[in-house]
Structure 1
């Protein structure tokens, strides 16, 4: 090939390269930018929906676990209450006969003190003329024991009934006699012959009482 032709071709190729370097790139159209934006928004919306669904599922699972824990705690609390109630019932069942024995012993001590006081003030005491100091000593011992028994009962929430002057209540007492008393309405408790006792809100022992009766009938005593 002739050198002049080669030189002409090289010149034309160099001119083409110079033109390509100085030519500005074609600007992006507004339509292309909006389309890309819509695609990105659609992708972001899809991601948000996916994340929201995952969060909702996690919250539902947490709510289910929380409800299950609450139900388990409620059941456990009920079981504990039943166990405590059963334990209290067993303890009360074991303690009840012991309390009745203490009350019976108290009745015997009180009867002994009453009998001793009656003898000391009656003609038998004057006839025997026992030393007052000796009688007073053992009677004081009985009174101390009686006070101790009353304290033992009180510590265990056992208190004597106080029914005199109140209407007769078959839940707390048993009628063993009647008496005509014009100052009291029929059925009013006039005397507790045998004291009753309450244990908390339960009747531990019913009282034996005498109640008033109208004067039309004679007083009776069992």
Structure 2
């Protein structure tokens, strides 16, 4: 059974085309808006405002991050410079302390040396007094004034005890006397103040110390005062 074709007038055809076009447009709009929240559309003013706000806030945040990064770098540089200054200050302080310590030690050494030399000068005077008192007086003087002679002996004993105490004090400070008698002249520790001709039979080499005019001393192994000595020199035949 054959069906007759549907014949549309021009007005119906135009309306059908318009409906088909509208359907296509609705389908297209439905596909574009599928990812938006319910109730919002592309043309929604609230959505446009929120997006602009988000972009603006992101730009501000990016700028703040950039500024904070720059400030952090500046802070690190300041800390590095401060650390360098602190290290240099510590090194200068250490050098100043070492210099002050060396100066204090030098001043202390000079002061101690002067003090010990003054004690040695006092010792020389006491030694001279003890040596003089040790020489026996003449028998005539003893018979003439026996009292003063006994007083002189008591005075000499007091000087001897004082000299002994002084030697103990010097020893407690590391002061020791040089042993030079019979030794060969050492120009670093001895100073020649006289020469005596030695007898040929004595078999004494030239430059041998015969007598000690002033005793020399060491302090902690270092020379404190040179010894003044008289050395031998063989007589030459004429």
Give the structure-2-normalised TM-score: 0.53
Any gaps of 5 or more consecutive residues in structure 2? 1-89
Change (3 A) 1:124 1:150: farther
The alignment status of 1:114 with 2:149, answered yes or no, reads: no
1:130 corresponds, among 146, 150, 168, to 146
Structure number with greater Rg is: 2
Shift of 1:217: 7.2
Report the 3-state secondary structure (helix = DSSP H, G, I; strand = E; otherwise coil) of the residue aligned with 1:121.
Answer: coil
1:88 corresponds, among 105, 128, 131, to 105
Deviations 1:175-206 (A, max 9, x none): 11112223211111111111111112322111
The alignment status of 1:155 with 2:175, answered yes or no, reads: no
Tell me the equivalent position of 2:197. 180
Any gaps of 5 or more consecutive residues in structure 1? 1-71
Change (3 A) 1:140 1:86: same
The alignment status of 1:204 with 2:224, answered yes or no, reads: yes
Give the structure-1-normalised TM-score: 0.56
Change (3 A) 1:133 1:121: closer
Please give the alpha-carbon distance, in whole angstroms, between the structure 1 residues aligned to 2:144 and 2:102: 58
Deviations 1:122-149 (A, max 9, x none): 3564364333543332221111111111
Please give the alpha-carbon distance, in whole angstroms, between the structure 2 residues aligned to 1:127 and 1:175: 42
1:164 corresponds, among 181, 186, 208, to 181
The alignment status of 1:100 with 2:120, answered yes or no, reads: no
Report the 3-state secondary structure (helix = DSSP H, G, I; strand = E; otherwise coil) of the residue aligned with 2:182.
Answer: coil
Tell me the equivalent position of 1:34. none
Deviations 1:70-126 (A, max 9, x none): xx99x96x98776554433221101111111111111111111211222x4335643
Cα RMSD (Å): 3.0
Report the 3-state secondary structure (helix = DSSP H, G, I; strand = E; otherwise coil) of the residue aligned with 1:175.
Answer: strand
Report the 3-state secondary structure (helix = DSSP H, G, I; strand = E; otherwise coil) of the residue aligned with 1:102.
Answer: helix
Change (3 A) 1:84 1:216: same
Please give the alpha-carbon distance, in whole angstroms, between the structure 2 residues aligned to 1:148 and 1:123: 32
Deviations 1:14-51 (A, max 9, x none): xxxxxxxxxxxxxxxxxxxxxxxxxxxxxxxxxxxxxx
Please give the alpha-carbon distance, in whole angstroms, between the structure 2 residues aligned to 1:124 and 1:91: 54
Please give the alpha-carbon distance, in whole angstroms, between the structure 2 residues aligned to 1:178 and 1:217: 17
